[in-house]
Amino acid sequence: MKVAVLDDYQSVAADMADWDSLPSGIDVTFFSDHLADEDQLAERLTDFDVVMGMRERTPFPRSLLERLPALRCLITTGARNASFDIDAATDLGITVCGTPGAGEGPTELTWGLILGILRKIPEEDRATREQGKWGLHVGASLQGKTLALLGLGHIGSLVARVGNAFDMRVIAWSQNLTAQRAAECGATLVDKDTLFSEGDVVSVHVRLSERTRGLVGAHEIGLMKPSAILVNISRGPIVDESALIDALQRRAIGGAALDTFDVEPLPAGHPFLTLDNTLITPHVGYVTDDGYRAFYSGVVENIRAFASGEPVRVINPEVLEAGNLRGPV
């Protein structure tokens, strides 16, 4: 059995789990480079029985899956992957498995981005180190400001807790949020327009789906205060990227702190890379030591279970129920 571990950007996957515990005859190859071209990716993976992708770093649409005749098991880190075509995998008899996660990396990064952009931490660091200057900016404080949360699930509720600790006013909205749930999380339920018009920090914490794609558009961004910042550590397509770029270029809002984007890695020359009112990180919300160890250990467990004929954490159980498997499990 040949296994491909993709998206090992930091070249650490080999040290994050006990790969030697896999049965003999399983050959694992780690790839740290990112291939965006489907032809190149199909050529690379054509002989692999099992492929692991790190979250949404490498998409697996139907067009690619159909070009991988040997592929029998596709593994994503985490419990879901919006860039894997699960229906296509099921149609083709490919078992898709997920892994556990660990830690609160996205919550922690949210506050790192908020504090970083409001207190101008990256600019002050560069000015001090590289320019010999000392104290260029007057930062914005959090106490008494309004934290507006688009989504109040697990991560959103923890972000709210920290906002309350900073003595902020916390408001929230999402399509299914109730006043009771908001109150339990130390927030006040408001309507969507109020969320964007009153927030000093507007932070996105909903999952990407058909009903949340483009949820933050030109209308919502147009309601924001000139001093407000938008934070997105969830998924890029939840925010209309063109509308956000336009607002940033016109300085219609105070700035944006972003960990996720429509296309990743960001293409060379993308406006987000040059705008001085953005703070950018390369989708690292979940990239922590604890998180990686949980992910990769889960991948090893998945490979071992699949090789034994009893796959675990199967995301598309229909493929097993139908018996429409590509090759033996």
**pLDDT above 80: residue 327:** no
Going 143 to 144 to 150 to 151, the CA torsion angle's sign is positive
Give the tokens for residue 285.
Answer: 């919300």
Residue of 72, 283, 301, 326 marked active site? 283
Task: Report the alpha-carbon distance of residue 59 to residue 192 in Å, rounded.
Answer: 31
> Residue 326's closest CA among 24, 51, 26, 23?
51
Query: Do 201 and 148 meet the contact criterion of CB atoms below 8 Å apart?
Result: yes
Give the tokens for residue 205.
Answer: 């914490």
Three-state DSSP state, 323: coil
Give the DSSP letter string of 39-67.
Answer: HHHHHHHTT-SEEEE-TTSS-B-HHHHTT
**The pLDDT value given to residue 329:** 45
Lowest-pLDDT choice from 87-96, 213-222, 282-291, 317-326: 317-326
- Cα 42 from chain centroid (whole Å): 24
> Residue 126's closest CA among 140, 112, 116, 113?
116
DSSP state of 314: B
H or E stretch covering 109: helix 105-118
Average pLDDT on 84-106 reads 94
**The pLDDT value given to residue 101:** 87
Residue of 104, 264, 301, 326 marked active site? 264
- Rounded to 10 deg, the angle between the 105-118 and 121-130 helix axes is 60
Average pLDDT on 66-92 reads 95
Q: Is 283 a catalytic residue?
A: yes
Q: What is the CA radius of gyration of the chain?
A: 22
Query: Do 294 and 101 meet the contact criterion of CB atoms below 8 Å apart?
Result: yes
Average pLDDT on 293-314 reads 96
Residue of 44, 72, 205, 235 marked active site? 235
Q: Is 264 a catalytic residue?
A: yes
Task: Report the alpha-carbon distance of residue 297 to residue 67 in Å, rounded.
Answer: 28
**pLDDT above 80: residue 73:** yes
